Amino acid sequence: SQQGEEDPQALSIQEGENATMNCSYKTSINNLQWYRQNSGRGLVHLILIRSNEREKHSGRLRVTLDTSKKSSSLLITASRAADTASYFCARTFTGRGSTLGRLYFGRGTQLTVWP
C-alpha cells in the first residue's frame, strides 16, 4: 500500500506554543509535501522535501525527513490562532505503474490553536 498516516489525529495548543505533527509511510518516496486545509476548503501547499533532503525551513515551518524510519515531521513554531487548520502530508512515488504527479494523502492532523 502507498498509504501512510499522520499523527496525532488532533492537536490542541495555546498561542505561542510549538506544534509538531508526524507523518509515516511504507514505501520509498520521491518527495513528501505538506499541505494545509482550512475548514473544508482547498489545500494550500506549504513545503516540499525531496527524498535526499533531511530538513527544510520556511518561515515558522520546519520539516524533517528520515527515510530510514520512513517518517517526516512538521514543526510550526510560535503558533497563532490563524494556524488552526487541518494539515496533510502527501507522498509521491516513482516506480512502475505509478503516476508521477499523484499525491497520496493520509487522514491529516486537525490543529486547533487557542488564543
Residue 44 makes contact with other proteins by CB under 8 A: yes
Question: Is position 45 an interface residue for other proteins (rule: CB under 8 A)?
Answer: yes
* Residue type at 15 in one-letter notation: E
Measured from the Cβ of residue 76, the count of other Cβ atoms closer than 10 Å reads 23
Give the range of 13-21, 43-51, 61-69, 77-85 binding other proteins by CB under 8 A: 43-51
Size of the site for other proteins (CB under 8 A): 25
Cβ partners under 8 Å of residue 45, min gap 6 = 33, 34, 35
- Determine which residue in the list 13, 48, 61, 75 makes contact with other proteins, applying CB under 8 A: 48
Q: Quick check: 59 binds other proteins (CB under 8 A)?
A: no
34 binds other proteins, rule: CB under 8 A:
no
Q: How many residues are listed for the chain in this entry?
A: 115
- The DSSP bridge pattern shows strands 71-76 and 85-92 to be unpaired
The Cα 28–Cα 12 span in angstroms is 31
Q: Which residues sit at the interface with other proteins, rule CB under 8 A?
A: 30-31, 33, 35, 40-45, 48, 88, 92, 94, 98-108
